[in-house]
Structure 1
Amino acid sequence: MKRSIVLFAVLSCAAFAAVANVGRLGQILQEQREIRAETERPTGAYARFDRNQIDKMQRAQDRIFRLLDGVDQVEQLDREKQVELFNSLEEVKAVLAANENDRQICRRERKTGTTLREVRCATVGERTKLTNEARDWKGDSGVCAPESGSTSCGSARP
């Protein structure tokens, strides 16, 4: 579990640094416009995708276009919008690569014991793994109901 938390923290820093260095907004917009044009053509490069995948990708692109409207640099966006931009770009990438499990998701979260917010990123697969590990660690609810004397309420769980 500790290794997962450390991995989660390392990925958080690396992924958010990628957002801050996206830089060339013109290139991002051009790529997204090209992808959009291909998805709208019935025989385009992305004709293999079903309608749900295309719709998901186009919703993410709509967010990208809205966020970058009138912006010259990523740094002009506040942190929340930078995170939203990164997540939207990752969503488009995940649909194109057909690999949802490797899609990075970043969130701004309050650090325990402070009002400061920090960005934490992890892939969908890592988040699922962390959720499952937390659920396993938590275990049963701890409600004690001995059955015909076979179990002691005070015994340790295996």
Structure 2
Amino acid sequence: MRLFIFMGLLLASFGAFADSAGRKPLAVVAITAQQKQIHDDVIAVRGRYKDMPSSKRVDLLAKQAGLMAMLEGKTTTDELSESEQTEAFNTLEWIEAAINNAEDERMVCRREKVLGSTRLTRVCRTVEEERRMKELARDQLDRGDAQMRR
């Protein structure tokens, strides 16, 4: 239980940092310590990981390896580029969602151009919100096609 409280605080801190350059960057040591604990538990197939399907455990370990490679040699998240910060945030969110079986609640961030500008901004939505937006856009396109055929 203590691990997941720590994990929630860690992700909240990272998310807050990722959205505002004025906030204190997160120490990579905290992220790596948390991920090592999760890694050890996944490898040992103990705790909440004992019932996790092996394919999901493999995916989780692969995501962790990518994250650790990205963070290697860094002391804070401030040393990552904006795209790497987004990727690290998305990876941490994926890991949390996999552990908690909460895929629809997982936050996904991307950098999108502001309409009429070349400026990029960070946009974060849950997987469920993304799915609803895609369905709405698809419905609007379908209605437009139906109206054009008349």
TM range, normalised to the smaller chain?
Answer: 0.7 to 0.9
- TM-score w.r.t. length of structure 1: 0.75
- 1:112 and 2:115 equivalent? yes
**Which is higher, the Rg of structure 1 or of structure 2?**
1
The count of aligned residue pairs is 130
Displacement, 1:70?
0.5
Show the 5 A alignment for 1:21-100: 23-42=26-45, 44-45=46-47, 46-100=49-103
Q: 2:25–2:78: 8 Å Cα contact kept in structure 1? A: no
- TM-score w.r.t. length of structure 2: 0.79
Question: Percent of pairs identical after alignment?
Answer: 24
Note the aligned Cα RMSD (angstroms).
1.8
Structure 1 segments of 4 or more deviating over 4 A?
none
Displacement, 1:71?
0.5
- 1:17 and 2:20 equivalent? no
Q: Which runs of 5+ in 1 are unaligned?
A: 1-14, 145-152, 154-158
Bigger relative contact order (CA 8 A; separation at least 6): 1
Q: 1:63–1:85: 8 Å Cα contact kept in structure 2? A: no
Q: Which runs of 5+ in 2 are unaligned?
A: 1-13
Distance 1:96 1:32 in 2: 12
